[in-house]
Amino acid sequence: MKYDRLLVPEGKTIRLKDYDPAYTGKFAAKEDAAGKLQSDIVKLAALQDVLYAQNTYALLLIFQAMDAAGKDGVVKHVMSGVNPAGCQVVNFKIPSAEELSHDYLWRSMKQVPARGHIGIFNRSYYEEVLVVRVHPEILRNQKIPPSLVGKDIWKERFEQINAYERYLTRNGTVILKFFLNVSNKEQKRRFLERIDTPEKNWKFSSADVRERAFWKDYMKAYEDIFSNTSTPWAPWHIIPADRKWFTRTAAADIIVRTLESLNLKYPAADPEHLKGLKDARTALEEGDSST
Ligand code: ATP
Ligand code: MG
């Protein structure tokens, strides 16, 4: 199965109305996709093991979405088989005072996954061309010298982000970016469900409802992000998110196919290491016979 149509082409003007949030590919229902998701989760666990052993590449997965689109669910399900020791999730929230005293990429740099690891950014520096764009007062709070904040600020940030991602990928960090595309109607339904279900009350925030008022501005900002920052080295995928089971299946498929394309191999032991193994075996066996 190919999800190439979810991949955002480079340098094309993207309109979200061309992307159906309820699309489910060749699957009619959750049950049809369950086997595929399960087998990808198993594959992902095996691939992560080699990634870790090889210790050269890192994988950075970036998730962006409107509230209640299912970011947490994707992370939880898709990564359910991986070894937690080689996987870190970082949630990017409103910047702290210390973070605001630095340039906007500063806080991401130290969270980028180490070689051999999978790093998940739950939100990311893309908030800097998103929520910061939708709410200009946030930009005013960033203490940037006013002479450096011109009308091209967003274009400049896209350039900076593309260059930053180029830098990371050229140093061995593979980057995949996912936008979970939930519809306005489905978001409303999920908010109402959070209000009406006691076990889901904790997920509800009235701030999220206030952000709904800016839906159109967010969509415009996202479209500009996709039109300017989907690159061969760090592509965006627009994942339909009205059916949670499909979101998870599609994301798992893309992650598995990307890791497979790296042709990862367990490192072969060099002659010296092999001799060490042989000597250790002899020592262990001799130790046993003397007891
Ligand atoms: P959940 O609600 O599932 O816990 P979340 O990612 O929505 O996950 P919240 O604490 O609700 O987490 O929201 C984080 C908030 O921080 C979002 O409103 C986001 O826009 C905001 N945020 C993230 N990065 C920045 C940034 N660089 N500048 C300003 N606001 C940011
Ligand atoms: Mg939230």
Given a cut of 50, whether residue 282 has pLDDT beyond it is yes
Any residues with CB less than 8 A from the CB of 69 and at least 6 apart, and which? 180, 181, 182, 187, 241, 247
Q: Are 175 and 60 in contact (CB under 8 A)?
A: yes
pLDDT in tens, 199-213: 999 999 999 999 999
Q: What percent of the chain has pLDDT over 90?
A: 95
Given a cut of 60, whether residue 3 has pLDDT beyond it is no
Q: Are 55 and 48 in contact (CB under 8 A)?
A: no
Any residues with CB less than 8 A from the CB of 216 and at least 6 apart, and which? none
Enumerate helices (H) and strands (E) in the chain, giving the number of each: 12, 5
pTM for the whole structure: 0.95
53-73 average pLDDT score: 97
Any residues with CB less than 8 A from the CB of 80 and at least 6 apart, and which? 41
Task: Grade residue 4 by pLDDT with cuts at 50, 70 and 90.
Answer: low
19-47 average pLDDT score: 96
The structure tokens listed for 36 are 């595929």
Ligand 1 pocket, Cβ-based, cut-off 6 angstroms: 67, 72, 91-95, 122-123, 127-128, 131-132, 138, 205
By CB atoms closer than 10 A (0-12, 13-18, 19+), residue 187 is: buried
Q: Which residue is closest in CA terms to ligand 1's atom 7?
A: 67
- Which one of 75, 101, 127 would you pick to mutate in the ligand 1 pocket, going by the greatest count of ligand atoms within 8 A of its CB? 127
pLDDT for the residue numbered 2: 46
205 Cα to the center of ligand 2, angstroms: 7
